[in-house]
Structure 1
């Protein structure tokens, strides 16, 4: 794999989003052959084009029309964003309120990238500004379900930060959130929920979300060295950060983003982190990239986003969620491995500017330029073992 390969992957991802776009509108389908569009996919497209550095192909008027399209879906009662896909396939953990919050937390950074803002204040945040209510809300979190609660905690933190940055209100509530997180973290793993029966992998997937708040606000993370150890422990032999062969969109991004931000803020096991990211880079491109398209979630499996039926993508096909999020993961990796041959010509690392999934910052930390070659020699034998495993598994099937 070389620099031109990564560039081709990004070009392919841009072409994938273009193929999901409906004519010259700002409506996007969740995968190329989908029958219906999703508002999520429109937000993902903004961020994906931004990461690829091609958003400037849209005129000022285009961007304003895109802003208008997104803002037309804001609910006047709560300020949250709404869309038809949110009402389909509702289940307990992905209920309507959860989905509206999740969608809102993706549209906010998309609007910012386009140079826009929500049409009205997100008044839903008032329930978090009421400190008595917020304390009870925090105490009601079930950290044994760390993956679910990680999303909920990010929703609260992101909306509070948005409110603080726009009105100055919410500082006390945000401090309450940080204090609660610092109090409830497991000192043995630097994750949330592992002391309450949650599996380390799922706890890591949950922690990714609230850790964004710590990194964005440049707040010290308790037991941060143990956090690095925990994430490195979760890495699969194939390079992904899931328990199973083949990785997964969220699982891989969660591991990558935590390691990348720890690398930039803590001088601890940086060489091991770089090696871990190189392994994951190979895995992402070889296992989850769909040639001449975007990224799938996991090879051999269909994908559905937040249980919404219209996002159900056929086996081994790219979808907008996995493609956007994995593009962010690649930029994350590039910002650390900037002296590796794959990324030497990448000069501008574009992240979301505001607190959100997809946020990041560029920090220049040098390393020996011969290091990648040694890792690649080691990975050659690992890759042979993975290939043999896949071949034997396919024969049994």
Structure 2
């Protein structure tokens, strides 16, 4: 497998660094924040360049922590979509900032006192129950943040959070779908969104040496929704978040003894993903969210998602058809480029095919996972808990 992509990604990541130690989200808008800087440091971790991280970048991140332990960033005020509230965004920034600091064994100036709200078993169970499970992709982030904070606090502040950690893990095991292996809490959400949600949970099972339940169902569901291009957006062309979600699940379960019958299919799936991921790297070395305007007439046969129809995944089949149709219409009739912005943050708005540091982190991680899985390399990417912790079963 070619390796030049990593050298180019490193050049791109370093090009985003500013004089104050921060990293911009993209060269296209030069907006820097605690969040984009955390993404950059986590990218350097995957590229095995932790030693190149300078103190000014760590200092930049640490100055954003408040007395209650949360990290605050002015970009929170620029949030322009209702699906993310203040608490979600603040937890999101805090999660990535702590991951970056923990990677380098840098202690935080303040304890995580904001977490006390969740240190009540009755409250914690009610919170899990009352999350909006119509979109597991979204609410699984909420759970990932809180579970990670509990683990980080226990390991670094010597607090016994085991009862709260077990409560969340046991709740997940009890509410896992026996049909798909994912989590939807019987809300009948799309299989695609359930897959993205499962990604936010499985690394915790591995990190705590807990056997992942329903491996066979997870593999079958994930293979079912992979697109013809090897990626995981129903519109085709992938999506840096969607693609890592599916790839991580398959890599994580690749060597499970009880799933030998799926091994060849997973290998083919990951190889296809790898070659399509490479195409999402731009000339500047960075990766983009997606190359969405890529319609070719020979791919018209994929407009009707037969696999999903045959498996009676009606919601997913409908989404697949509509998203591909929209992509075709845009490709043929519209010249204006599609845009996206991470978590609805207006400062991060760029063209969908422009390079950005979040997409670079996730695509570099996806490619690294595939290489380590298929080449049976040393599986250490991240030693600490969090996205990027990987242990093949």
Pairwise TM-score range, normalised by the shorter structure? 0.7 to 0.9
Q: Which residue of 1 aligns with 2:332?
A: none
Cα distance between partner residues in 2 of 1:91 and 1:307: 5
> Residue 304 of structure 1: CA displacement?
0.8
- CA shift in 2, pair 1:259/1:194, >3 Å: farther
Q: Which residue of 2 aligns with 1:353?
A: 383
Q: Which residue of 1 aligns with 2:349?
A: 312
Q: Deviations over 1:157-210 (max 9, x none)?
A: 111111221323211111111111112111111111173210111111111112
Cα distance between partner residues in 2 of 1:37 and 1:67: 14
Cα distance between partner residues in 2 of 1:319 and 1:104: 20
Q: Which residue of 2 aligns with 1:298?
A: 290
Cα distance between partner residues in 1 of 2:83 and 2:383: 29
Cα distance between partner residues in 2 of 1:242 and 1:37: 28
Residue 18 in structure 1 maps to residue 14 in structure 2? yes
Residue 38 in structure 1 maps to residue 33 in structure 2? yes
> Residue 227 of structure 1: CA displacement?
0.8
Q: Which residue of 2 aligns with 1:196?
A: 187
Matches of residues 172-187 of structure 1 in structure 2 within 5 Å?
Answer: 172-187=163-178
Cα distance between partner residues in 2 of 1:28 and 1:212: 27
Q: Deviations over 1:47-93 (max 9, x none)?
A: 212222233234xxx33x332221110011x2011111121124332
> Residue 18 of structure 1: CA displacement?
1.8
Residue 112 in structure 1 maps to residue 102 in structure 2? yes
> Residue 266 of structure 1: CA displacement?
4.7
Q: Deviations over 1:75-118 (max 9, x none)?
A: 11x20111111211243321111011111111112112223021
Q: Which has the higher contact order (CA 8 A, sep 6+)?
A: 2
CA contact (8 A) 2:22 2:57 kept: no
Cα distance between partner residues in 1 of 2:13 and 2:343: 20
| Runs of 4 or more consecutive aligned structure 1 residues displaced over 3 Å after TM superposition | 264-267, 347-350
Q: Which residue of 2 aligns with 1:279?
A: 272
TM-score by length of 1: 0.82
State the aligned residue count. 345
Q: CA RMSD in A?
A: 1.9
Q: Which residue of 1 aligns with 2:136?
A: 146
Cα distance between partner residues in 2 of 1:221 and 1:361: 12
CA contact (8 A) 1:26 1:66 kept: yes
CA contact (8 A) 1:106 1:357 kept: no
CA contact (8 A) 2:70 2:94 kept: yes
Q: 2:87 aligns with which of 91, 97, 107?
A: 97
Cα distance between partner residues in 2 of 1:139 and 1:194: 9
Cα distance between partner residues in 2 of 1:148 and 1:291: 32
Structure 1, unmatched stretches of 5+, are 340-346, 364-397
Q: Deviations over 1:132-165 (max 9, x none)?
A: 2112111212322111111011112111111221
Residue 84 in structure 1 maps to residue 77 in structure 2? no
